[in-house]
Amino acid sequence: MQNSPLLVLAAGGSGGHMFPAQAVAEVMLKRGWRVVLSTDARGERYTSAFPAEVQIEQVSSATFAKSGLLNKMIVPIRLAIGVTAARRKMRRTRPNVVVGFGGYPAIPAMGAATSLGIPCMLHEQNGVLGRVNQLFATRVNQIACGTWPTELPDGLIGHYIGNPVRQDVLDRHGATYIPPGDYPMALLVIGGSQGARILSDVVPKALGLLPVSLRQNLRISQQAREEDCARVQQAYAEIGMRADVQPFFTDLPDRMSQAQLVISRSGASSVADISIIGRPSILVPLAAAVRDEQTANARELVQAGAAQLLLEADFTSEALAKQIQELLTNSIQTKSMADAALGCAKPKAALDLANMIDALAGDI
């Protein structure tokens, strides 16, 4: 096994970065590669579902997103420590390829690899390059894009492959969709690691505005921040609705495959999951996203008629209730939306990225 080619995946501490890395790891292990994941303590929370064969390396990292002058001063120091440690390690192990998926924890491995002349790639999940991928875009051999079009610096060429999804999502590719009707229905509400609070505030109130005849048929699965779970559960109890509220669903693909409707942030991984499984959705882009990448992520599904867009400025309980009622009382439209979502899917994204990795290793 020590003679097998070595792949280092560098990914930040959110599901949007980690899920595509996991998908690629699953494919590359089957192809006989050794795989190392380079991430920080926050990213390590997402590694429980990674194959056991993946070696996890925690690196020194930090983010400028946190406020405070002291933090801003410490960030470059911690990143420099991380890059130095990664350089020392890569001199010994000499990876065949390093792939960065974005996020500040990707900086040490990507910084080390580019400075040592190791073949490198980027995978950008969003329709706009993230800060870290912007930093390395002109220093890597290739850029793979999960959303199209992706805004790239002048002169750079991106390869549109889609966003790799985990095997448990792929296993439900095109799962039979049961349109809404006068029977028990499942509604899935997911907010991503950074954006669940507004959904926690608005969605229960919106469902409370629905006609009783519709409301009594709904079974809710809602992702909420840990600190919000109790109050969201209470909000549902007060309107007499059944809801399963958790910070993270380990069986998310199963819940999505059973859903008649998904309400979600338009993070790249969420959009990919929705299209692979093929479900109608109401997408609420994260307004705080500096580059407005979540609106770009939603564009393909919205233009295809697979999703309805509801901007945060318009995301009121009344507006959401109106959309939910219209969709859950129109089985023809929701079936059409489910089919359109499936038409946007890129189920071979992980395989295509794996092929790019193999080719890059063979070319250098």
| DSSP result, 42-64 | HHHTTGGGS-TTSEEEE-----T
User: Do 307 and 341 contact (CB within 8 A), yes or no?
Assistant: yes
Average pLDDT over residues 90-119: 96
Q: Does the pLDDT of residue 224 top 80, yes or no?
A: yes
Chain segment 235-249, per-residue pLDDT in tens: 999 999 989 999 989
**Which is more confident, 63 or 150?**
150
Using 50, 70 and 90 to split pLDDT, how confident is the model at 111? very high
- Output the CA angle 101-102-107, nearest 5 degrees: 110
Sequence letter at residue 134: Q
Phi, psi angles (nearest 5°) of residue 270: -65, -45
| Residue bearing tokens 């669940």 | 196
Q: Say how far apart CA 196 and CA 247 lie, in whole Å.
A: 9
Chain segment 62-80, per-residue pLDDT in tens: 554 555 565 666 778 888 8
Please choose, from the candidates 313, 251, 315, the residue with its C-alpha nearest in 3D space to the C-alpha of residue 282: 315
**Given this model, what pLDDT does residue 50 score?**
95
Report helix, strand or coil for 148: coil
DSSP 264-328: E---HHHHHHHHHHT--EEE---TT-TT-HHHHHHHHHHHTTSEEE--GGG--HHHHHHHHHHHH
**Given this model, what pLDDT does residue 315 score?**
96
Cis, bond preceding 280 (omega within 30 deg of 0) = no
Minimum mean pLDDT among 200-204, 287-291, 308-312, 319-323: which range?
287-291
Q: Say how far apart CA 102 and CA 301 lie, in whole Å.
A: 23
Chain segment 331-354, per-residue pLDDT in tens: 999 999 999 999 999 999 999 999
For the sheet with 218-223, list strands across it.
242-246, 218-223, 185-190, 261-264, 281-283, 307-309
**Given this model, what pLDDT does residue 201 score?**
95
Query: What is the model's pTM?
Result: 0.92
Please choose, from the candidates 68, 72, 93, 79, the residue with its C-alpha nearest in 3D space to the C-alpha of residue 6: 93
Q: Say how far apart CA 281 and CA 283 lie, in whole Å.
A: 6
User: Do 223 and 249 contact (CB within 8 A), yes or no?
Assistant: yes
**Which is more confident, 45 or 121?**
121
How many CA atoms within 13 Å lie on the side-chain side of 334? Answer: 25
Tokens of 277: 């499984």
Q: Say how far apart CA 75 and CA 107 lie, in whole Å.
A: 12
Average pLDDT over residues 215-242: 95
**Given this model, what pLDDT does residue 156 score?**
95
Report the 10 Å Cβ neighbour count for 182. 9
Residues 6 or more apart whose CB falls under 8 angstroms from that of 355 comprise none
From residue 315, alpha-carbon distances to 53, 283, 307, 312, 352 in Å are: 43, 10, 15, 5, 37
From residue 215, alpha-carbon distances to 122, 132, 181, 200 in Å are: 45, 44, 12, 17
**Given this model, what pLDDT does residue 65 score?**
53
Using 50, 70 and 90 to split pLDDT, how confident is the model at 3? confident
Average pLDDT over residues 105-130: 95
Q: Does the pLDDT of residue 181 top 90, yes or no?
A: yes
User: Do 112 and 321 contact (CB within 8 A), yes or no?
Assistant: no
Looking at residue 139, the DSSP 8-state letter turns out to be G
User: Do 228 and 197 contact (CB within 8 A), yes or no?
Assistant: yes
Adjacent-strand bridge partners of 5: none
Looking at residue 249, the DSSP 8-state letter turns out to be -
Report the 10 Å Cβ neighbour count for 249. 16
Average pLDDT over residues 83-99: 96
User: Do 143 and 158 contact (CB within 8 A), yes or no?
Assistant: yes
H/E element, 7: strand 6-10
**Which is more confident, 282 or 42?**
282
